[in-house]
Amino acid sequence: MVSGGVLCAIGLVAVIGPWISPNEYLTADFNNILRSPAFADGHVFGTDDLGRDLFVRTMMGVQVTFAVAIVASIVSLVIGVLYGATAGFVGGRVDAVMMRLVDTLYAMPFIFFVILLLVVFERNFLLIFVAIGAINWLDMARIVRGQTLSLREREFVQAAQLLGVSTPKIILRHIAPNLIGVVIVYVTLTIPQAILIESFLSFLGLGVQEPQTSLGKLVNDGTDQMEGAAWLLLIPATLLAVILLCFNFLGDGMRDLFDSRRSE
Amino acid sequence: MSLLEVRDLSIRYGDTAVVSSLSFSVSDGESVGLVGESGSGKTQTALAIMGLLPGNAIVGGSIAFDGREIVDAAERQLDRLRAERIGMVFQDPMQALNPYIPIGKQLRRVLLRHGISDGRKADQRVMHMLDRVGLPDPARQFRAYAHQLSGGMRQRVMIASALIADPDLLIADEPTTALDVTVQAQILELLERIREETALLLITHDLGIIAGHCERLLVIDNGRLAEEGPTRKLFSEPQSAHTRKLIDAAPRLDGVTRPAPAPAERVLETEAVSVSYAERRAELHAVLDLDLQLMAGETVAVVGESGSGKSSFVRAVLGLIPMRAGRVTFLGKDIAGPAKARAVEIRRDLQLVFQDPAGSLNPQLRIESIIAEPLSVHAPELDARGRQERVAEALQRVGLDEQLLTRFPHQLSGGQAQRAAIARALIVNPKVLVCDEAVAALDGSVRAQILDLLRREQEATGLAIVFISHDLAVVRSISHRVMVLYLGRLVELADCAAMFARPRHPYTRALLDAVPVPDPVSPGGKLSLGGEMPSIINPPPGCAFHPRCRFALPRCRTEPPRARQVGDARVACHRAEELEL
């Protein structure tokens, strides 16, 4: 629960910070290129090689990173759980067709897929979310399907079937809630993965575009200046690490919260 | 001096005491029974003796084995003690055996690791031990994996592994609870033979088992010793109320059977129902040509060992699994086919209660939502108030407290959970209730309460019950008629009283003999049936029962018997008329 608080605090600062800070993320301050962190002139985290305020840029990055993480995991959660649970529960031919579709998508090279999306549609912030979500739900669907196959044989599901509860209702009411333990754990693995994919895409120039930024991109930029201006690497990297760690702890906490057996 | 001396033993987890000030002893070569209901601390005591309690257990008092202290002993000493002096048999042999290692190798490890014998000698000893516990063809079974053996054979292997180092004390924790009655009789007979060489501490909740196999009894209640004494004396003059309660709750074969129900309309009828599975080229018959008529207000028990097809039969009738052939008629309407295709009213009228109460309740829902769920399908017109009233009424019928409504299933005891499962089935007022081993997982006294609940419900509402069980003693107190199955085929169908007084089929007789009776003078649990039920993959030709039948004739090997009326029973045996069983 501490980690939830830390995440909220980081998120809050990320939203409010740039707003109250005297500096703009775009404005280059040519008098203060590569300034080390100091409170005096408002460049709390220092400036980068173009003289832009690192604090504001980092907070921008956190915003983007949070957005990517949350949207991507929600996309993969909703699609993956419903898709996997349906395939696993209905079974038979439906299952076979649905899972072969997943296999086919799996076989597509990810980068190729992203480039394709970027070419067909305009370069677009939303597209990154879609691309990452579209990759992650495949894993989620497979895991959920496997769990559903074993849940389907459980007696409480048979009891519901016998009572005449409809299939969508069984999936929503009896299957999905019992998947939560596995799903939450998997989502906490997905979030760091999504963040990493995003920074990787940004690095390739396929993701977030200058002058916008993300934590991953800041870390990449920071590596270039590692020797002269270590803070450019250390500050975003530490923040990224803290965020990832917090998501992991949060995952543990959430699993306990949702599992009725442990919430006593 | 006694072999095992437990003095003032207490086991706590945090603030919860599971065993308190328990003292007893076991002498060399003695057989002692430790009896109690689930949660009374029996298994914890056994684990403490083995030094196997988890790290967060707080143990007080003393356990001395042959003069040596076990509480607080070093792990290495315990290891040796466990390997050479004390053997233990657990309830579930599938979980106690490593599925990846052939059983012979598993047994050999103990010998090699502790330097008891080496190489070829160890192999020979393992083989000899497997032979002694009655495993056919030990040389072949040496290389078998746990999953290739039947439940009874696995338990034999467990016993062999417990005995391999020739221990002085064997602790058997519910060694037969997971087994069929006939196999149980075989295992108990094996333990009886072993007793000549080692002391035995037999832990069980079943007084029937203990009556015939232990010299002395310890009854524990809530972690405390309720009573101790020689078996016969304890049964004839129990001193503590708890012992009396246990004895009264144990099902017997000599109690009164229920009077025949008043004639009523026929609610459910099956004709020549067959269930089969396609396996490669062959067709495996799990159920073959079963007929059954069920009247309102009547209980018919379906009895057989595991693998007899009793569950497959009722599940096919309920439409949960596909039927290969046959007709199912409900109140004159043909309803054969999957449950999904049936009209909502028919699905409402046929309800099922499962064996494992915890497994049949969704762990993520509160009891109230679980019990109310059928209403959302069968009475969608009800508003929240109406639903609450119906739930409250159902609760009252099954004798559950309203406070439990906001709990989750895992917060209920086994008996409470089963009552909730019955409430869910009864809330829609069905005409037929199928109970699939509904009391098998419950303690004696709780079982008696649930059976009583079913009887009262039936008398009040004219409910028809199909009661599946492997335990003839339980069946006797609840059913009007009994149907015995073997390998998916009908063996005998008769009125309950008639069948218990005069079984017509050798298999029925064997099942009756195998039931352990809580009476030390004539304890039952006799071994009159060797071997195990064959698999449906390879059913014997002719009468399916002939390989295990003492009365088999050459004709039985070739010609399957047809079910026919003999006296007041319907029997499938060539010799039903002439045999005096």
Among B184, B217, B249, where does a domain finish?
B249
Of B339, B344, B378, the CB nearest to A161: B339
Q: What is the mean pLDDT of chain A?
A: 77
Number of domains in chain B: 2
- Whether residue B67 is found in the same domain as residue B199: yes
Instruction: Give the pLDDT score at A264.
Output: 42
Instruction: Give the pLDDT score at A263.
Output: 45
Chain B partners of A160 at a C-beta cutoff of 8 Å? 362, 373
Asked, for residue B378, whether it belongs to a domain, the answer is no
Of B339, B356, B410, the CB nearest to A261: B410
- Whether residue B499 is found in the same domain as residue B465: yes
Rounded Cα distance between B396 and B150, Å, is: 43
**What length is written for chain A?**
264
Chain A partners of B428 at a C-beta cutoff of 8 Å? 163
Name the residue range of residue B180's domain. Answer: 4-249
Detail the DSSP E strand segments found in B413-566: 432-436, 464-469, 481-486, 489-495, 564-566
Question: Nearest C-alpha of chain B: how many angstroms from A181?
Answer: 11
Rounded Cα distance between A224 and A228, Å, is: 9
Q: Which residues contact B334 (CB under 8 A, 6 or more apart)?
A: B327, B328
Range A76-86 average pLDDT = 88
Q: Which residues contact A96 (CB under 8 A, 6 or more apart)?
A: none
* Contact (CB<8Å) A260/B356: no
What contacts 24+ positions apart, CB below 8 Å, involve B315-323? B316/B273, B316/B275, B316/B287, B317/B268, B317/B270, B317/B273, B317/B434, B317/B466, B318/A162, B318/B350, B318/B352, B318/B434, B320/A158, B320/A161, B320/A162, B321/B275, B322/B275, B323/B273, B323/B274, B323/B275
Nearest residue of A to residue B366, measured between CA atoms: A260
Beta partners for B199? Answer: B169
- Whether residue B471 is found in the same domain as residue B552: yes
One-letter amino acid for residue B238 of the chain: P
Among B195, B219, B249, where does a domain finish?
B249
CB atoms within 10 A of CB B485: 25
Helix (H) / strand (E) element for B571: namely strand B569-571
* Contact (CB<8Å) A162/B352: yes
Instruction: Give the pLDDT score at B303.
Output: 92
Asked, for residue B61, whether it belongs to a domain, the answer is yes
* Contact (CB<8Å) B347/A261: no
Enter the CATH code of domain A2-258: 1.10.3720.10
Among B195, B217, B249, where does a domain finish?
B249
Range A226-255 average pLDDT = 78
The answer to whether B4 touches B29, Cβ cutoff 8 Å, is no
Chain B partners of A178 at a C-beta cutoff of 8 Å? 362-364
Asked, for residue B177, whether it belongs to a domain, the answer is yes
Asked, for residue B190, whether it belongs to a domain, the answer is yes
Question: Nearest C-alpha of chain A: how many angstroms from B274?
Answer: 20
The 10s digit of each residue's pLDDT in A131-178 is 777 777 888 899 999 999 988 888 888 888 888 888 888 888 888 888
The answer to whether B556 touches B542, Cβ cutoff 8 Å, is yes
Question: Nearest C-alpha of chain A: how many angstroms from B410?
Answer: 7
Rounded Cα distance between B175 and B159, Å, is: 9
Helix (H) / strand (E) element for B424: namely helix B414-426
- Whether residue B161 is found in the same domain as residue B56: yes
The answer to whether B523 touches B216, Cβ cutoff 8 Å, is no
Chain A partners of B360 at a C-beta cutoff of 8 Å? 155-156, 158-159
Chain B partners of A156 at a C-beta cutoff of 8 Å? 359-363
Instruction: Give one word for B542, left, alpha or beta, with left for phi > 0 and alpha for psi -120 to 50.
Output: left
* Contact (CB<8Å) A162/B408: no
Is the pLDDT confidence value at A57 over 90? no
Place of tokens 């008639």: B498
ipTM: 0.73
Instruction: Give the pLDDT score at A252.
Output: 73
Give the end-to-end CA distance of chain B in Å, rounded to a whole number.
48
Domain ranges of chain A: 2-258
- What are the C-alpha distances in Å from B136 to residues B163, B526, B545? 18, 21, 19
Residue B578: both structure tokens together? 């002439």
Q: Directed axis angle between helix A231-258 and helix A176-204, to 10°?
A: 170
A43 — pLDDT class (breaks 50, 70, 90):
low
Detail the DSSP E strand segments found in B280-361: 282-295, 299-303, 325-330, 333-334, 350-353
Residues of chain B with pLDDT under 50: none
The answer to whether A68 touches A198, Cβ cutoff 8 Å, is yes
Instruction: Give the pLDDT score at A42.
Output: 61
The answer to whether B254 touches B522, Cβ cutoff 8 Å, is no
Q: What is the DSSP letter of B403?
A: G
The answer to whether B184 touches B177, Cβ cutoff 8 Å, is no
Where do runs of H (alpha helix) occur along B165-265? 181-194, 207-213, 231-236, 241-249
Rounded Cα distance between B107 and B318, Å, is: 45
Rounded Cα distance between B458 and B454, Å, is: 6
Beta partners for B494? Answer: B482
Of A154, A160, A264, the CB nearest to B373: A160
- Whether residue B95 is found in the same domain as residue B232: yes
CATH no. for residue B440? 3.40.50.300
Rounded Cα distance between A24 and A13, Å, is: 15
CB atoms within 10 A of CB B539: 16
Question: Nearest C-alpha of chain B: how many angstroms from A75?
Answer: 24
CB atoms within 10 A of CB B534: 16
SS3 B35: strand
Asked, for residue B547, whether it belongs to a domain, the answer is yes
Nearest residue of B to residue A167, measured between CA atoms: B340
Residue B549: both structure tokens together? 């039948």
The 3-class SS string of chain A reads CHHHHHHHHHHHHHHHHHHHCCCCCCCCCHHHCCCCCCCCCCCCCCECCCCCEHHHHHHHHHHHHHHHHHHHHHHHHHHHHHHHHHHHHHCHHHHHHHHHHHHHHHHCCHHHHHHHHHHHCCCCHHHHHHHHHHHHHHHHHHHHHHHHHHHHCCHHHHHHHHHCCCHHHHHHHHHHHHHHHHHHHHHHHHHHHHHHHHHHHHHHCCCCCCCCCCHHHHHHHHHHCCCCCCHHHHHHHHHHHHHHHHHHHHHHHHHHHHCCCCCC
Asked, for residue B237, whether it belongs to a domain, the answer is yes
- Whether residue B175 is found in the same domain as residue B131: yes
The 10s digit of each residue's pLDDT in A192-220 is 777 777 777 776 777 676 667 777 778 87
- What are the C-alpha distances in Å from B532 to residues B182, B238, B572? 8, 37, 19
- Whether residue B230 is found in the same domain as residue B92: yes
Rounded Cα distance between B524 and B516, Å, is: 5
Mutate to test the interface with A, among B373, B411, B422 (most CBs of A within 10 A): B373
- Whether residue B196 is found in the same domain as residue B96: yes
Burial A190-228 (b: 16+ CB within 10 A, else e): bbbbbbebbbbbbeeebbbeeebbbbbbbbbbbeeeeee
Question: Nearest C-alpha of chain A: how many angstroms from B320?
Answer: 7
The 10s digit of each residue's pLDDT in B89-132 is 888 777 888 889 998 888 888 888 777 777 788 888 888 888 88
Q: Is the peptide bond before B409 cis (omega within 30 degrees of 0)?
A: no
* Backbone Cα Rg of chain A: 22
Of A156, A162, A166, the CB nearest to B339: A162
